């Protein structure tokens, strides 16, 4: 029997000529701290960066769906975390919006997942979550 010779396919994401591997694999998707395993994804897989060139529509659709769900869950987690930190600090939504920027309705939007705060706001909120005693210094600086 003659072996099947395929032309190698190279990853378009990796600049160093990483060779894609054809196969069916369970793939893990990440959205911030949320992960989901999507079983039996068919396609050309990059062993270096995880990029996939899909060869069937079902795999592509299941990956899209899993990513969408993972991001939804991550946003919900972030929204819940913002609300919990704000309450721990004893701030009303409007007060938090004035203190951290974004306007009086910013925290209402963040906590309903309608908008995402700037990364710097999340860093500051997480810092204050661990060191709530610094709130007065933040107030004085604002």
CA angle, 115 then 119 then 122, to 5°? 85
Q: How far is the CB of 77 from Zn ion (least distance, A)?
A: 29
Ordered DSSP codes for the chain = -PPP-----B-SS-TT-PBPEEEEEEEEEEETTEEEEEEEEEEEE-TTT--EEESSHHHHHHHHHHHHHHHHHHHHHHHHHHHHHHHHTT--HHHHHHHHSS-TTHHHHHHTTSS---HHHHHHHHHHHH-GGGHHHHHHH-
Nearer to Zn ion, 13 or 126 (CB): 13
Q: Which is nearer to Zn ion, 20 or 38 (CB)?
A: 20
Query: Closest approach of Cβ 12 to Zn ion, in Å?
Result: 8
Least distance from Zn ion to the Cβ atom of residue 13, Å = 4
Residues that bind Zn ion (CB under 5 A): 11, 13-14, 18, 46, 48-49, 51
Chain position carrying tokens 């994401």: 13
Nearer to Zn ion, 49 or 127 (CB): 49
Whole-number minimum distance, CB 47 to Zn ion, in Å? 8
Residue number with CB closer to Zn ion (14 or 135): 14
Least distance (Å) between residue 110 CB and Zn ion: 34
Residue closer to Zn ion, measured from CB, 14 or 67: 14
User: Cα–Cα distance between 9 and 27 in angstroms, integer?
Assistant: 19
């Amino acid at each position: 029997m003659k072996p099947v010779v395929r032309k190698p396919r190279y990853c378009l994401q990796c600049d160093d000529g990483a060779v894609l591997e054809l196969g069916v694999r369970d793939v893990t998707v990440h959205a911030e701290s949320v992960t989901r395993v999507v079983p039996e994804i068919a396609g050309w897989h990059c062993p270096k960066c995880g990029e996939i060139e899909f060869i069937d529509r079902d795999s592509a659709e299941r990956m899209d769906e899993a990513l969408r769900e993972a991001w939804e869950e991550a946003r919900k987690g972030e929204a819940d975390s913002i609300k919990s930190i704000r309450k721990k600090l004893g701030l009303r939504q409007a007060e938090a919006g004035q203190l951290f920027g974004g306007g009086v309705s910013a925290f209402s939007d963040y906590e309903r997942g309608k908008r995402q705060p700037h990364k710097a706001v999340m860093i500051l909120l997480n810092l204050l979550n661990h060191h709530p005693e610094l709130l007065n210094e933040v107030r004085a600086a604002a």
